[in-house]
Chain A
Amino acid sequence: QQQVKQSPQSLIVQKGGIPIINCAYENTAFDYFPWYQQFPGKGPALLIAIRPDVSEKKEGRFTISFNKSAKQFSLHIMDSQPGDSATYFCAASRGGADGLTFGKGTHLIIQP
């Protein structure tokens, strides 16, 4: 059972455009929603995270939008650059230390 569904699987955007990656979750016990960026052959790096008490969080060019009633959240990358080309993962977790449930990832390419 996939508890976090991520789309699209791949995405190509021109430099300066705003790629949007969407995730939907099923488990209402989830209360922490991070996004990770991964470059080939490297471990994922935490980009930004949100908790369900807010509807939006912005850090630099990265913004998370969160819709608790729809059980959906999305990542927007403003003024995208070729260096943003990577695989992006959304994730979710419940309270406690029992780890993250990940989406399947989005392979993003920013064309110059």
Chain B
Amino acid sequence: SQTIHQWPATLVQPVGSPLSLECTVEGTSNPNLYWYRQAAGRGLQLLFYSVGIGQISSEVPQNLSASRPQDRQFILSSKKLLLSDSGFYLCAWSRGGHSNTEAFFGQGTRLTVV
């Protein structure tokens, strides 16, 4: 069965510090991978998605970047965090090579920038 791991679960970082959140998927090959951010009362906003190694698409301009160094690894990064980067970050995957299949989410990382 497929599983998705996301860490850390919570993170408190000072303004201006770097960020690295990691997500890995097990039990599948060539998944589509996604990073979402959830802010209170605003639903989930798609930040990045990737259909393969090194292929990253960005949905919104922001202070964040994403990378996919391996097939089942997706990393969310920032060189210098802003207060507005605080939120609940969620990684998700869906089956690669298929349109509109189910997306499965990790347990999220609660990031607080202070």
Contacts and interface: CB of A to CB of B under 8 A. Distances in A.
Given A34-B102, A93-B100, A101 B42 contact: no
A89 B44 contact: yes
B74 interface: no
Contact of A44 (B6, B49, B59, B90): B90
A45 interface: yes
Interface stretch (A64-72, A76-84, A102-110): A102-110
Given A97-B49, A99-B34, A89 B43 contact: yes
Interface residues of A, number: 29
Interface in B98-112: 99-100, 102-108, 110
A43 B105 contact: yes
| Chain B interface, >50% SS class | strand
B25 to A, nearest CB: 13
Interface in A26-63: 31-32, 34, 36, 41-46, 49, 51
Interface in B52-77: 57, 59
A112 interface: no
A12 interface: no
A41 B107 CA distance: 8
Contact of A97 (B6, B96, B104, B106): B96
A101 B46 contact: yes
Contacts of A98: 49, 57
Contacts of B43: 6, 89, 102-105
A104 B42 contact: yes
B24 interface: no
Nearest to A44: B105
A34 B94 CA distance: 13
24 contacts: A34-B102, A36-B105, A41-B108, A42-B107, A43-B92, A44-B90, A44-B105, A45-B105, A46-B102, A96-B100, A97-B32, A97-B51, A97-B94, A97-B99, A99-B34, A99-B36, A99-B49, A99-B59, A100-B44, A101-B46, A102-B43, A102-B45, A104-B41, A104-B43
